[in-house]
Amino acid sequence: MFTVTTNPVDLWSDPGSRGRFEKNYFDTHFGPFHRVEQLVLRPVDRTPVKNGSIGPAFRKDFLDLTRLESPFLSILPVLRYLEQVLDLQLRITNITVYGEVLKANISLDDICFKPMRPDKEDCAITSPLEYFQHNVTQFNNSTVGRCTFFSCAFGFPFTQSSTICILQDYLEHLLNCAKNVFTPKCLGSSGIPQMPNVVFGGFADGNYSLAEAAVITILVRNDVDLKSDHIQSCLVWEAAFISTVREWKDAHSKEVIVSFSAERSVEDEIERQSNADVWTILISYVVMFVYVSLFLGSYTSCRNIPVDLKVTLGLGGVLIVLASVAASVGFWSYLGVPATLIIIEVIPFLVLAVGVDNIFILVQDYQMAESRGKLSAPLHNNQSDGDTTETNNRLFEVVHGSGFDLHAEVQGRVARTLGRVGPSMLLTSSAESVAFFCGSMTSMPAVRVFALYAGVSLVINFLLQIFAFTALLTLDARREAARKWDVLCCIKNQPGDSVTHPSQPPTATAETADAPPNTTEQQPATSSQPNNDVAVAPKGTWLYQAVSRGLSPFILSQWVRPFLVVILLVWICLCVALVTTRLEVGLDQRLSMPLGSYVLDYFDAISQYLAVGPPVYFVVTAGHNYTVWKDGQRSVCSFAGCSESSLPNVISAYAKLANLSHIASPSMVWIDQYANWLQATDPSVHCCRVLRTNPNVYCNATDSTSDCVPCLPPDSSLPEGHTFNRFILRFLEQNPDVNCPLGGKAAFGTAVELVKRGTDTTNVSVEATHFMTYHTVLREPQDYIEALRLSRHVSDQTLLYWNNHSANTFAGNNAIFPYRYLSEFLLTRYCLTTDGLLLLCAVFYVFYEQYLNIQHETALQLGVCLAAITVITLLLLGLNLAATLIVLLGVACIDVSLLGLMCLWSISLNAISLVNLVVCTGIAVEFCSHIVRAYAVSGCKTRLQRAHEALSEMGSSVLRGITLTKLGGIVVLAFSNSRLFQVFYFRMYLGMIVFGALVGLIFLPVLLSYIGKLIDCLRGCINSFGDLHV
């Protein structure tokens, strides 16, 4: 069944990679990452508060102070910012929308993450207004607080003290909460702490008071099953969220700048862009089709254009390409390999490039063969123009003569044409398809699937061209020989319509088109020699003449050849230097968004204003022993007495080097808070307490009876053994409040996985746990890559400290695990275990993991493709090693040139550009193999003559076929609204064609004129060996 992979994780992440294993483990034990709805808000008026000591993010409407008279109002303008933020937050939380699929109303309360459930049903939201629990009354009351002049806003006396009090009270509450996030009055309505670097943005060096932006983040529950009812509900609500924020943004655009994004935003915008790009792609293919239809024909006169047109033949060739792609899609869909959007966008381009090139070569060779006297009397060297005109007249008579078998003659000519150019088509198609099949061995899903689909497409395209297109060519040749119009084949030109006037020079007709120039020496006819039945080669088309009489003599002249070789060597050296020093890695997510998208504005806002990056989780897998101090608790705590190399201490040490490590802050350590919860010595804090008479019964935090005693004796250490597990469930079930702010449910309820032991529900043990911290702000793709690389270094080094093992050890608990052995078969066979591992999880790791070794992967893919091309070319060129190496050299030059262009034109190396590099390798074969094979089978005596004949014979076909055809389609891509298309398709495709044409049509013939003797020597040795054998 045909399916398209749209899940980004499945598309870009190797199922057997370390990142995928870590994500799957996290999803299984802790649940998938939350869906995130986020807004970044900035006031249009950037005037700071309190004479510049407080940033604009803290501004507030001071109860309509414009109606009051006071000398101090000059420092208090109308400040509406925070009230507007609160208004937007309340509108969002009150969104209710009807879901057509589920037939029910959906609100944020139905889908959001509720960390203190069931004690509290509030959604997890981080926002500056959560310091006031997003309560309007509480927010307004904070304005007066300890002041006694609240009624002044309604006309009562207003004094200096009341003005300052109004200002300082709400600001002091915000700033105090920013410094004491775990204070009960500062916790959000959901019970989670509001970290100042999360809710504020646009400040430097941790000075939250100078913040320029407020950040609202809403956490929504996620589901592994993307087709579940919950996910459908999320999508419906998120659509309403986007609509609501857009309306509010437009209404308040003069006061507040809003940048926002929902979890579904990126996929929505990519889909919108893909729909818009459909027209760009269609126009590109229409341009190429029109070109093929017009330039396949060889026109003799204006009156004969309807006969010379090749619309039917061009349409048939394009349909064969589409049929090849469709057949490949059907084949792999039947085998259960889903397609991707890259396949739909790229493979038609690739197959059309190869297919059109073969079509032009096949048709041009037929037209040249048709002019060599098969339908007319043989021509001779001394034949005059008048004789040519007479011959053309006899041609028409012969065609319509009663004794002439047109069908048999056309079929024979097509057969001979296929015999001449068929091996060249087989060579290029086989080399390209085998190269793609070898490239499918990559671990990158997008590249692997593309290579499989492309390989089958090329195989089917070649078979259809050999059988279906030759049949269509035969029918078209019969029509043209009968002087019938193309498309409207019921209309026929009269004999006089296409006869050359005797007074005019002979004009190349369909029978005389595209022939090579006259040569003074005749070569013996062989079946392997192209155009072997040439007695005298008539004049060809203008493009043929331009290549044969203009380009070829110029580049093969005595002084131009060495100059071109020097240019090629300098360029290749420059490209190599650029690739090794300036090739960027990664994919800027901005490029995937359409121009003018609201998501682009959001990306710019988070890059400029966010003070902290995405969260990162250090996961200790099940198997770590938390019930003992020495080898268990000591490795995962951070209070006095813990190991210096404990995980929290190592994270904290790297956080002090945030600019280098990309770790922004120390981690949240659940075991530290558990120890404080157990050992709370403050009499006013009632956390872990049990009845004196029954230690199995816990006392509530509000219970102040004398019968309640602490769970552990004062000054006791962290318990071990059964005692450690005994109280952990209570700790994770207790919500923080005024009486016990150390309750662990809100902060750590999802950070610790407990497993029940036996039938007693209170008998549990700790399995997997995680320690959360944040990355620093990550702005560029390189920042994400380095953050992943350094975080893995922290994780791996910590695990080495724990175990004192080498990096290759994987036996026993707490070991470095070989992620390449993740399949169940190998886990079972080698008895590997995942117990006690230290894993690393962040939402972007699975996407950026591929860039850690993208250079190695690129070299491997291109190397495998080149090796496959070498083997196939060597076999199909009759074991001609020299010719094979020259083809390989030409392909390598084109690949290196394109890599150099990527450095100069800001094209980064990623999965998309790697696909294009693989495509470039395949297309480069088209530019090189035809020329080299024509040289190898040429009958001319000198290297210069052979190079000239090879370029003349195949140059115009390659130029007219793949080069000009693709240029027309590529130019259209430059006008796409998608920056992704402009960068990775227009620029790279243009580079493929330009460098392919330069190397194949200019530098390769020059190289053949110098080193082509190797081919001659090797062919002579093979022939001598064959004669000796006979």
- The C-alpha atoms of residue 805 and residue 511 are separated, in whole angstroms, by 79
The predicted-structure confidence for 618-646, as pLDDT tens digits, reads as follows 999 888 889 898 888 888 999 888 888 88
- Give residue 385's region: left, alpha or beta (phi > 0; psi -120 to 50): alpha
SS3 of residue 215 by DSSP: strand
Residues 1015, 942 contacting (CB under 8 angstroms): no
Q: Cis check for the bond before 741: say yes or no (omega within 30 of 0).
A: no
φ/ψ of residue 949, rounded to 5: -65, -40
**Strands, E assignment, 877-921:** none
Classify residue 1020 as exposed, middle or buried by CB count within 10 Å of its CB (0-12, 13-18, 19+): exposed
Q: How far apart are the C-alpha atoms of 615 and 778, rounded to whole Å?
A: 11
Q: Which of 539, 1015, 803, 149 lies closest to 817 in space, CA to CA?
A: 803
Q: Check if the beta carbon of residue 730 is closer than 8 Å to that of residue 747.
A: no
C-alpha–C-alpha distance, residues 936 and 883, integer Å? 7
Q: End-to-end alpha-carbon separation of the chain, Å?
A: 56
Q: For 167-223, what is each residue's pLDDT tens digit?
A: 446 677 777 888 888 787 888 888 888 888 889 888 877 777 788 888 999 999 999
By C-alpha distance, which of 351, 310, 304 is closest to 327? 351
Tell me the helices (H) and strands (E) count for the chain, helix number first. Answer: 37, 13
Q: How far is CA 470 from the centre of its chain?
A: 39
Q: Give the separation between CA 547 and CA 543, rounded to whole angstroms.
A: 6
Residue 723: per-residue pLDDT: 85
Q: Which two tokens stand for residue 708?
A: 């309640």
Structure tokens at 607: 């890059």
Residue 734 Cα distances to 120, 578, 718, 727, 894, angstroms:
12, 59, 19, 11, 66
Strands (E), 46-111: 96-99, 104-107
pTM for this prediction: 0.79
User: What integer pLDDT is reported at residue 837 of this predicted model?
Assistant: 80
Q: Where are the beta strands (DSSP E) in 813-871?
A: 838-841
Q: Please count the residues of the chain.
A: 1030
Instruction: Classify burial at 524, counting beta carbons within 10 Å of its beta carbon; exposed 0-12, middle 13-18, buried 19 or more.
Output: exposed
Structure tokens at 376: 């007319």
Contact predicate 786/662, CB 8 Å: yes
* C-alpha–C-alpha distance, residues 957 and 363, integer Å: 9
Tokens 């998309």, residue?
912
Q: Which helix (H) or strand (E) holds 498?
A: none
Report the distance separating Cα 75 and Cα 138, nearest Å.
Answer: 25
Integer Cα distance of 531 and 527 in angstroms: 9
Contact 960, 294 (CB under 8 A): no
- At 496 the pLDDT is 53
pLDDT confidence of residue 71 = 35
Q: What pLDDT score does 821 carry?
A: 39
pLDDT value of residue 964? 80
What values do phi and psi take at 217, rounded to 5? -125, 130
Which residue positions in the chain have pLDDT lower than 70? 47-81, 139-170, 299-300, 369-406, 494-541, 680-685, 701-702, 704-706, 761, 804-836, 1012-1030
